[in-house]
Amino acid sequence: MKILFLCTGNSCRSQMAEGWVRRLKSETIEAYSAGIETHGLNPDAVKVMAEAGVDISGHRSKHVDELKEIEFDYVITVCDHAAEHCPIFPGEAKVLHFGFDDPPRLAKEANSPEEALDCYRRVRDEIKALVEKMPEILKNR
């Protein structure tokens, strides 16, 4: 099964989702991530994923057009902006939305660097919980 995780800039949430799938579900799911824009890989996302034992430091921010030749089974938007602006995909890809808070936006309200990282950790763990239920949860949507 091929899944594309799509968010606005492919810097944080979609990268985390790709990393979790590669770590937890690589035997059943081939994961990709991209954005409707590219914002670069978020260093705090890399940091909190490493804390959880998942290395995404080699990932790079990709535009969705770079993956247009791949026939996905599912395209999962992980932020509202991407869901609203999701491009049309050829083939039989089923588009689903699982929205997660934006860690960089949440971190702006933090009172310390550690509190800012906690925003990333919470979203990281929420994405992991979703991935742990795959592919079963996809078949029920």
User: Would you state the pLDDT for residue 80?
Assistant: 73
Assess whether 7 carries a catalytic annotation: yes
Banded model confidence at residue 22, pLDDT cuts 50, 70, 90: very high
User: Among the options 34, 64, 75, 79, which is catalytic?
Assistant: 79
Q: Which of 7, 36, 54, 134 is catalytic?
A: 7
Q: Which domains does the chain have, with CATH numbers?
A: 2-139 (3.40.50.2300)
12 catalytically annotated: no
Q: Which two tokens stand for residue 133?
A: 């239920």
**126-141: per-residue pLDDT in tens?**
999 999 999 899 887 7
Amino acid of residue 72: F
Q: Beta strand pairing status for 30-35 and 94-97?
A: unpaired
pLDDT band, very low/low/confident/very high, at 67 (cuts 50, 70, 90): very high
Share the mean pLDDT of the chain.
Answer: 91
Q: Write down the catalytic residue from 24, 52, 86, 130.
A: 86
Q: State residue 40's pLDDT score.
A: 92
Q: What is the pLDDT of residues 115-127, one digit of tens each?
A: 999 999 999 999 9
User: Omega of the bond prior to 135 within 30 degrees of 0, cis?
Assistant: yes
Mean of the pLDDT values across residues 48-60? 97
Active site residue 86: yes
Percent of the chain with pLDDT over 90: 77
Give the pLDDT confidence score for residue 14 in this predicted structure. 95
Across 74-94, average pLDDT: 76
Answer whether 5's CB lies under 8 Å from 17's CB. yes
